[in-house]
Every structure is written in structure tokens, then in C-alpha cells.
Amino acid sequence: MSRPAPSTLVALTSLLALAGCGDPAPTPDASTTDAAAPADVGSDAGRTLEGRVRDSHWTMLEAAPRVARGKQDDMWWLDPTHGFLASGPNGSIYETLDSGASWSPVMTSPTTYFRALLFTDAMHGFAGNIGAGLSPSISDANVLYRTIDGGDTWTPVTEITGDAPSGLCNFTAVDATHLFGIGRANGPTHLLSSSDGGATWTSVAIPALRMAIDAHFSTPTTGLVAGMNEAGHCAILRTTDGGASFEPVFESSTESTLCWKLHFPSENVGYVAVQDTTVGPATFARTHDGGLTWEELPLPTSFYPAIGVGFLTDEIGWMVSEDPSMPAYRTFDGGDTWEEELDLVGPINRFRFVDDHTVYAVGGAVWTLDVVE
């Protein structure tokens, strides 16, 4: 490293707020969660890719920050070697310059729970804080931090107008100009937006959601927000006016569920992890029309608190629980069938697809997958 180191549902969801709370990259990022499928993956090449994925193995990065309980929530990769990690339990943002072989803290604040990361280029980035009020140890009321020097220093963002947000769980971006932030677990729920690359932000409330966890925008005005509705079900809302209004497009049939991560491997195909909080049945949901309609489908178990979901292509992807005793799953047919992923251990909160063969996953630890040629 060249940089120097600087129960009841109510009770259950209180724990969920700190257990973890995304999307088209505004840079050629490497760290896109919603990148289109690699160009070399056609119908014939896709079968070859399946074989390559099966021949590859997830590896835990031994030197990366980890937590014994709960999880770390997000990473951002500028390229396969240069990345950042948001570790809420450690109150820190870490940086690696060598593909995760070593890490150094670039920001540490014991009263801040860093939850989300987004970079618009190599110099400009943002970090989200879940905010004060959910735990006695988290007293920092600044929900948003910014760096303009490539992560060397981070300062609070105060240019937020509108209904004041209490915390952030995730970011998503259409491009380097149009940025969005969403939060938080356990509420109150808000959508933040910027049309000037993060120089200024506007916040609006999301009354239809009790919890707001993730978002995905395809244009500066059209997007999806996901979380839990007032009925206690995993729910997705759609806006076509930048958050001025929302309409429901998905509600899980299972009670006491929470929509956690959204992931769109291409423009029309998307997935959402449905987190069971009581009894199940275990499900996930997918869309083939950009989020206008959703189909809820089963997972191969009766109860599964799914949080992390990520797809390398429209068909090849992973689903992971917050519970490390439960298996991770992978699919090669878009979720029609699932099998256990023996090399990956939860909790996993976020997958980052750096290029067509490099994948990182973060949760209790940091994992990497290098798809063999």
C-alpha cells in the first residue's frame, strides 16, 4: 500500500437495521452492480461461461477487514486492483491498491456506521451513514460524506434540501451526473437525488415504505425503490418523476419479509433478494421488463433470510443469506433452479462485478472470484 493508514417483528427489524442495508456504475467502474452481460457471452458462449464458473472458486481475502458478528455492507472498485470497503461495525472506510492483499483505513469515525459507497470517477466519491438513533454507539447525524481527492479525506455533505433524511443504506447512479441515495432500515424512509454530480442533493420522503433499503434508476426520472411496506411485506415501488410519486409494482406474498438487494445484470432483467424474518416460505423475485412487473419464485429451502444477490449475466448469479449457517446458492438458468455454492459463506451483503471475470463479495468477510479463462 502506498497510502499511509490515517422475537417480534419490531425487535427483529431493529437488529436488521444494523445487519446491513446500489447500481449502474457512473464510472467505467469496475464496481458496477448493474453492468450489462459481457459481450462474449452469447447462447453458445454462455454454456462455455457456465463451465468456466463451475471450474472457478470463491476465495476469502485473508488480509481484508472482517467482523465476527453482523456484516460489512459495501465495496467500490475503480479497477480490479484499487478498491474501497465500507465497514459499519468498524466505523471505517478502507482502501486497497493491490486487489485486496492489503488494506489501510482512510476514514475512521467510531460514531459513524458507514453503509454504502459510490464513486463517480477516480477522485470523487460518496459514503453513506445509516445515521443516529438506531444504536447508542451510532451518534453521527451526518448521513452523507464526500471525497474529492480519491479517498484521502472525507467530509460531511450539508447541501441537502427537502425532507431531512435520517440515514442512508445504498446508492445508485444513472451516470456521473445523476445520483441517488436511499434509506433507511427501520425508517424513516427517504430518496436522495442529485443532478449535478453530488454538488447538491434533494431529499423526499417515501410514505409507502416502512423501510427503504435499495434503489435502481434507469433514467434520471425512472427508477425503483425497495424495502418493506406498511403491511410488513417486501415491496418495490416505481417512480417515473424522480421520486415525486411512487406506484407499487411488487409485494411479496410472504408475511414479515423485507426486500433487500436489487440487481439488474442487464436493462430488462433484474432480481431482488427477499429476506424472511420469521417463517418463510423462502422466495426471490425477478423481472424481465425492467421492473414493470415481477414474478415471485421459490428458493430451495423453507426459510431463508436472503440479503445479497448478484448476477454475472442474466442467467448466472448468486443468492446469499445473512445467516452464516445457511448455504449460499447459485443458479445458471436465471433462478429456475438453484444449487449450493460450497465455496462462499454468508453473510454477503453486496456483490461487485469489476469486469467479465472478476467478482468481489462483501459481508462478514471479503471474497473474490476470478472466473477462469
Q: Is residue 4 part of a domain?
A: no
Per-chain mean pLDDT for the chain: 91
Q: How many domains does the chain have?
A: 1
Q: Is residue 2 part of a domain?
A: no
CA–CA distance from 98 to each of 209, 284, 348, 352 (Å)?
A: 40, 35, 22, 16
The domain that holds 295 is classified in CATH as 2.130.10.10
Q: Is residue 270 part of a domain?
A: yes
Is the pLDDT at 23 greater than 90? The verdict is no
Is the pLDDT at 99 greater than 70? The verdict is yes
Q: Which of 3-12, 296-305, 324-333, 336-345 comes out lowest in average pLDDT?
A: 3-12
In this prediction, residue 47 carries a pLDDT of: 59
For the segment 341-356, the average pLDDT, to the nearest whole number, is: 97
The model's confidence at residue 373, banded by pLDDT at 50, 70 and 90, is confident
Q: Is residue 100 part of a domain?
A: yes
The model's confidence at residue 26, banded by pLDDT at 50, 70 and 90, is low
In this prediction, residue 250 carries a pLDDT of: 98
Judge whether 288 and 299 are in contact, CB under 8 Å.
no
DSSP label at 20? -
Is the pLDDT at 28 greater than 90? The verdict is no
For the segment 18-29, the average pLDDT, to the nearest whole number, is: 47
Amino acid identity, position 48:
T
Diameter of the chain measured on Cα atoms:
55
**Portion of the chain with pLDDT greater than 90, in percent:** 86
Q: Is residue 111 part of a domain?
A: yes
Domain region containing 266:
9-370
What's the rounded Cα separation, in Å, for the pair 107 and 84? 11
For the segment 74-81, the average pLDDT, to the nearest whole number, is: 98
